Amino acid sequence: MKNMQAARALSALGHETRLAIFRVLVQAGPDGMAAGDIARRLDLAPNALSFHLKDLTYAGLAVSRQSGRFVIYSAVFPAMTGLVDYLTENCCGGADCAVTPPTRGKLRSTGSQTVSATSPRRKVAGSSSRNSKNRSKK
Amino acid sequence: MKNMQAARALSALGHETRLAIFRVLVQAGPDGMAAGDIARRLDLAPNALSFHLKDLTYAGLAVSRQSGRFVIYSAVFPAMTGLVDYLTENCCGGADCAVTPPTRGKLRSTGSQTVSATSPRRKVAGSSSRNSKNRSKK
DNA sequence: TTCATATTTCAACAGTAATTGAAATATTGA
DNA sequence: TCAATATTTCAATTACTGTTGAAATATGAA
C-alpha cells in the first residue's frame, strides 16, 4: 500500500462519524447495508451520511451498489486489511507491534521466534543526513 | 481503545507529512530523534514540523524530551499497537483480517503457523447495541 | 401519471487545519 | 555576555472540511 493511499484511508477513518459508519458497514458484513438504514442506525441526516459515504468510497474503504430504490453500501475488507498491514509493516517498532500480550496465542517461539512478519528493517535514528531540497508536499 | 481516541490517532496519521514524520520516528526507534534531524530528513520547515509534531503528540503517538538544546521526539509504540488492535477488533470483517498472504514474512509455519505477529485477537464484528438518538459529534 | 420513499447534489456558511514568514525563547559554546 | 544553534510560538493567510436546509434525481407503488 502506498503512503498516499494509506494517508487517505487513515484520514477518512479519522473522523468519528465516518469511523462509526465504517464500523456499521463492517458489522453488516459483505451484504452491506442500505444508506437509509445506516442513517437511522447512527441518527444522521441523509445528506450528511451521503457526504461521509462519498469520502469512505473515495478512500476505497466502501463500495455501493444500487438495489431497487436503495443504495447498498458495504465495507471493502481488503482495504482495511491492507491498511492494517501497512501500519504493521511501516509504523510499528519491530518485533512485537500488533501482538500485544500474546496471552492466548502463546506463539511458542520455535527457534527463530519473533519473526513477526513485521519490521525486518530498522534504519535506526542515525541520520542527521544533510540531504535536502525537495520540500515534498501532498 | 476508545473510538474517540482511535479517531484522533487516525486523523493525526491521516496526513502525508505527519505519516512520514511518524514513520521516521518509528525507524528511529525508542531512542527517538531530534526535531532538527527530522526536519532535515524530511526537508520540512522547522515551524511546520513543530506544528505537526504537536499534533502527533496530542494524539498520543509521540512524546518529546529535552536533551541539551535538542528536543528528542520518539514514537509511542503502545499507541500504535493499540490502534492496530482497535482496527483489527472493530473494523475487520472477521477471521482473516490483518493476516493476508504471509508471503513476505516467511514465518516458517512451525506448528501453529500463520502466527504472523499481526492479528492474534479477533473479537469480530458482533457488538451492535441498538442504541439511538444522539447525533454524536466530535 | 402521480405520489411517496430513498438518496444525492447544491449552495451557503461556519469551523478547523495547514502554510508561511517573522519573532520569541532557550541552551550551549566562545 | 554575546553569538550561534535549536525549537516553538505567533499572526496572517489560504485552503479545506463539515453542517445545514432546500432542491434535484431516481425508483417503485398506487
- Residue-wise pLDDT tens digits, B44-72: 999 999 999 999 999 999 999 999 999 99
Query: In this structure, are strands B70-75 and B62-67 parallel, antiparallel, or unpaired?
Result: antiparallel
User: What are the tens digits of pLDDT across the range B90-114?
Assistant: 988 754 554 554 444 333 333 333 3
pLDDT at residue B16 tops 80: yes
- Return the residue in B16, B43, B90, B113 with the most chain A beta carbons within 10 A, the one to mutate for interface testing: B16
Which residues make beta-bridge pairs with B73? B33, B64
- B8 contacts in chain A (CB < 8 Å): 14
Work out the average pLDDT over B2-27.
Answer: 97
Contact B14 A20 (CB under 8 A): no
Identify the helix (H) or strand (E) that includes residue B8: helix B3-13
Q: Which of B74, B47, B60, B82 is nearest to B12 (CA)?
A: B60
Q: Which of A118, A86, A64, A117 is nearest to A10 (CA)?
A: A86
| pLDDT at site A25 | 97
- Total-model pTM: 0.78
pLDDT at residue B138 tops 50: no
The nucleotide closest to B46 (CA, C1' atoms):
D7
Contact B10 A13 (CB under 8 A): yes
B13 touches B61 (CB < 8 A): yes
Contact A112 B108 (CB under 8 A): yes
- B77 contacts in chain A (CB < 8 Å): 92-93, 97
The nucleotide closest to A44 (CA, C1' atoms):
D19
Contact A97 B90 (CB under 8 A): no
- Please identify among residues 57-116 of chain A the ones whose CB lies closer than 8 Å to any CB of chain B: 75, 77, 80-85, 87-88, 90-100, 102-105, 107-108, 110-112, 114-116
For residues B37 and B72, give the distance between their C-alpha atoms in angstroms, rounded to a whole number.
9
**In the structure grid, which three cell numbers stand for residue B93, read together?**
470483517
For residues A9 and A137, give the distance between their C-alpha atoms in angstroms, rounded to a whole number.
18
For residues A96 and B82, give the distance between their C-alpha atoms in angstroms, rounded to a whole number.
12
| pLDDT at site B92 | 81
B107 touches B116 (CB < 8 A): yes
| pLDDT at site B131 | 34
For residues B67 and A98, give the distance between their C-alpha atoms in angstroms, rounded to a whole number.
30
Query: Mind listing the pLDDT tens digit of every residue in chain A (138 residues)?
Result: 899 999 999 999 999 999 999 999 999 999 999 999 999 999 999 999 999 999 999 999 999 999 999 999 999 999 999 999 999 999 886 545 545 544 443 333 333 333 333 333 333 333 333 333 333 333
